Amino acid sequence: MFPKFILYLLPFLPFLTRGILCYRFRAEMTNSLGKEELDKESHRTYILAMAGFSFSGLLAMVVLDVSLRQDFHFAVYYLLISFLSYLVSLNLQSYKALLWQDQLATTFMDSASLCLILAVLSILNSQNHVKKFAYALTIIAFSVWLIDHVIRLKIRWRFLIKKRS
């Protein structure tokens, strides 16, 4: 369908989109966070729960890949990136104080959640299911993630425009 190297780059899509946002509002990125934005504990609780899903999925895929001799390397790759991204985001939550640090933590969370979806889709597409069904589910799942991502970017964009003026 398209070159495989793109499949390896997909987890980094949020770094491109949030990077554009940070570049556009680079003057505001050095601002201190407000009380609501500093809500570290609720972010940490969410991240820990999602990191658990990533870690469990990663272990399961490694065991299945070895024991069933299936080709789940993309699922393993996505789950590893997801788990590591959640860990980095968790660490960033500990010492974030500026807007750019919050955006970086959010970027890692976006990448991690995208990777969870990509892992499921890679397993679905690696099996001998009906290809049209797998493609339809891929489009639906990626669209749901992308719509949410774009909405959250637009909300942040509008917030930063108001903050600027």
Tell which residue, 74, 73, 69, has the closest CA to residue 10: 74
At residue 45, the pLDDT reads 79
d(Cα 116, Cα 78) in Å, to the nearest integer? 7
d(Cα 148, Cα 110) in Å, to the nearest integer? 10
At residue 108, the pLDDT reads 97
Q: Which one is predicted more confidently, 19 or 33?
A: 19
Mean pLDDT calculated for residue range 104-113: 95
pTM of the model: 0.88
Q: What is the mean pLDDT of the chain?
A: 87
Sketch the domain layout of the chain as residue ranges: 35-164
- Which residues have C-beta within 8 Å of that of residue 136, sequence separation ≥ 6? none
At residue 72, the pLDDT reads 80
Question: Nearest 5°: CA angle at 108, between 58 and 134?
Answer: 55
Residues 57-99 have pLDDT tens digits of 877 877 776 666 667 888 889 999 999 999 999 999 888 889 9
Mean pLDDT calculated for residue range 136-142: 92
pLDDT at position 12 over 90: yes
At residue 69, the pLDDT reads 65
Q: Are 14 and 114 in contact (CB under 8 A)?
A: yes
d(Cα 121, Cα 104) in Å, to the nearest integer? 26
